[in-house]
Chains A and B, each alone.
Chain A
Amino acid sequence: MNLSIRSLFTALVLFAGAMSDASAAELVVIVSARSTAPALRNDQVAAIFLGQAAQLPDGANVTAIDQQVGSDVRDEFYVRVAAKSPALLKAYWSKLLFTGRGQPPREAGGNAAVKKLVADTPGLIGYIERSALDATVRPVLVLH
């Protein structure tokens, strides 16, 4: 009896945790574990993903890898890092595309694909859910 109440409580806590994870999962901006990139600020990450900066603060060239259009993790990332809704982001890239000033980052499908690409290529930077983090990549910014 005592045990079952305790496990019920544990289940409730886990469930509540899962609920809050679903609505606001922590995101991490990652580079390869082999990369020497320093920790980054919000605005520096935004500049890289919005095509306004092609280099890290230490001068190394960097290329952004995006998550797929329409994915929750992507929508969440741009709201947190650049205060841009999906429609605002689309408008932003349309502006750059049709003035010949840039194209949006290439996309990879899902946390695993982004992580694999970034782990294998030191010049890339991506973002994934924190739960998908492992030793092949290194976080340079945590977005709460």
Chain B
Amino acid sequence: MALASGAATAATTDVLPSLWSVSGFGTAGLVHANTDTADFSNSVLKGSGAGASGRWSGAVDSRLGVQLDVALLPQWSAVLQVVSEQQYNNSYRPRVEWANLKYQVTPDVTLRVGRVSLPVFMAAEHRKVGYVYSEVRQPVEVSGGVPITSSDGADLSWRWHTGQLRHTTRVQYGRTEMGLSEGISLRARGIMAASHSIDVGSFSARASVIGAKVSVNFADPLFDGLRQFGPAGMALADRYAVDSKRFSLVALGMEYDPGTWFVHAEGGRQRSQSVLGTNVGLALGAGYRWRDFTPYVGYATVHAQTETRTSGLALAGLPPQLAGTGAALNAGLNQLLMTLPEQSTLSIGTRWDAYENIAVKLQFERVTPHGNSRGTLINPQPGFVSDRAINVTSMTLDFVF
């Protein structure tokens, strides 16, 4: 009897939320790419990858994240998440991914203030936590183009239901600034986002829209140079500079996962009147769960809807020295336009739930940039040509604690 009541007392204490808890996630990954004219990576904001910088790379998927959750009062809680992974300047300096204060207005309405996640794609918020999905990484064709995962501001989330359909509606407002390297940063102002998710049985879907004014000062010397070339040069600079340019994204994703197998599909269109251009991306995936193994296949493609080439400044009739400068600027501008992604990827792989909280994955991909674009590849070298398939092999070990 004494034993039973002791156990019950211990259990009662368990029901109260603990004051604070520390948890974390991470990936140890190694990627091989059979090319030496560009790097394969998972985001345009990475410093290096597998390929030109070395056939093997640990930088593509490796990362470590630590999260502190604090329960303050019954309705108030706070979260701090810090992630270390390779950045644009090759450093692994930890970055504050999320830091916000959450107020549970009602059991179904939540208000968060601070640095909160951006609900861009279905997997956008948890794409850094490899353990939660089957594939090695989220398809770069769809998620790689929007490297922003958080915004400083507030969001309001409301859960409701109609019959057996569960809905979650979320609206968000904020801004963000990411230092990329010395003096270069990515800024997004007036970020307005809304998303709506539905869940019914094993089916879930999410639609989201995001708008923002985006600035990236990575090619200022080029645009300053163009502006020296009269009205034509100014027009080119105004058209392509990423200087407080409106950016918008619309995405729709769905997933069916009855437990023993899954399929998912997601598509998105992003628009910007700048060198970032307009593109549509689509990703499909399917897998089967057999004991501790989840073999899967995937296909992803991204297509630029704006020109990946420009004739640039008209050089005819210019004095030789100016024509030389003009030609260099034209080349620089075309180099930038090559970053507009045109690419498709076929992938096959398997996840192995090797141990509690640990998943091992092996994935083969055939990545093909098309039509003068370098696709989602980074660090292109002289001699890079489009339309040549690259074989990428990835091995990862994902863990949570």
Bound together: yes
Interface residues of A (CB under 8 A from B): 43, 47, 52-55, 61, 63, 65, 79, 82-88, 90-92, 94-95, 97-100, 103, 106-110, 112-114, 116-117, 121, 124
CA distance A38 to B309 in the complex (A): 65
CA distance A63 to B74 in the complex (A): 13
Show 21 A/B contacts (Cβ-Cβ < 8 Å), sorted by A: A43-B201, A52-B166, A53-B161, A54-B107, A55-B107, A63-B15, A84-B259, A94-B126, A94-B400, A99-B117, A99-B125, A100-B79, A100-B81, A100-B100, A100-B112, A103-B17, A103-B69, A106-B14, A106-B16, A106-B17, A109-B11
Please name the residue on chain B nearest to A100 by beta carbon.
Answer: B79
Q: How far is the CB of B196 from chain A (nearest CB, A)?
A: 15
Query: Contacts A98-B128, A110-B7 given; 12 further ones with Cβ under 8 A?
Result: A43-B201, A52-B159, A82-B259, A84-B259, A98-B67, A98-B129, A98-B400, A100-B81, A100-B116, A113-B7, A113-B8, A121-B15
The CB with the most chain B CB atoms within 10 A, among A61, A94, A106, A117, is that of A94
Query: Is B182 positioned at the interface, with any CB of A under 8 Å from its CB?
Result: no
With A90-B357, A99-B125, A100-B116 as known contacts, state yes or no: A47 contacts B166, CB within 8 Å.
yes
Query: Is B321 positioned at the interface, with any CB of A under 8 Å from its CB?
Result: no
Interface size band for B: 35 or more
B95-118 near A? 1/0 per residue, CB < 8 Å: 000101010000110001000110
CA distance A116 to B15 in the complex (A): 12
CA distance A85 to B108 in the complex (A): 27
Query: Is B313 positioned at the interface, with any CB of A under 8 Å from its CB?
Result: no
Query: Is B65 positioned at the interface, with any CB of A under 8 Å from its CB?
Result: yes
The answer to whether A85 touches B126, judged by C-beta atoms less than 8 angstroms apart, is no
Query: Is B192 positioned at the interface, with any CB of A under 8 Å from its CB?
Result: no
Contacts of B125 in A (CB 8 A): 99
Q: How far is the CB of B245 from chain A (nearest CB, A)?
A: 29
Query: Is B19 positioned at the interface, with any CB of A under 8 Å from its CB?
Result: no
Task: Choose among B12, B21, B25 the residue that contacts A117 (Cβ–Cβ < 8 A).
Answer: B12
Please name the residue on chain A nearest to B400 by beta carbon.
Answer: A94
With A84-B259, A113-B7, A116-B8 as known contacts, state yes or no: A107 contacts B14, CB within 8 Å.
yes
The answer to whether B25 touches A98, judged by C-beta atoms less than 8 angstroms apart, is yes
Contacts of B128 in A (CB 8 A): 98
The answer to whether A90 touches B400, judged by C-beta atoms less than 8 angstroms apart, is yes
Q: How far is the CB of A58 from chain B (nearest CB, A)?
A: 13
Query: Is B199 positioned at the interface, with any CB of A under 8 Å from its CB?
Result: yes
CA distance A54 to B108 in the complex (A): 7
Query: Is B4 positioned at the interface, with any CB of A under 8 Å from its CB?
Result: yes
The answer to whether B166 touches A53, judged by C-beta atoms less than 8 angstroms apart, is yes
Query: Is B311 positioned at the interface, with any CB of A under 8 Å from its CB?
Result: no
Query: Is B202 positioned at the interface, with any CB of A under 8 Å from its CB?
Result: yes
Q: How far is the CB of A8 from chain B (nearest CB, A)?
A: 37
B357-376 near A? 1/0 per residue, CB < 8 Å: 10100000000000000000
Q: How far is the CB of A88 from chain B (nearest CB, A)?
A: 7
Contacts of A47 in B (CB 8 A): 166
Contacts of A109 in B (CB 8 A): 7, 10-11
Task: Choose among A79, A94, A124 the residue that contacts B25 (Cβ–Cβ < 8 A).
Answer: A94
CA distance A51 to B25 in the complex (A): 21
CA distance A121 to B259 in the complex (A): 33
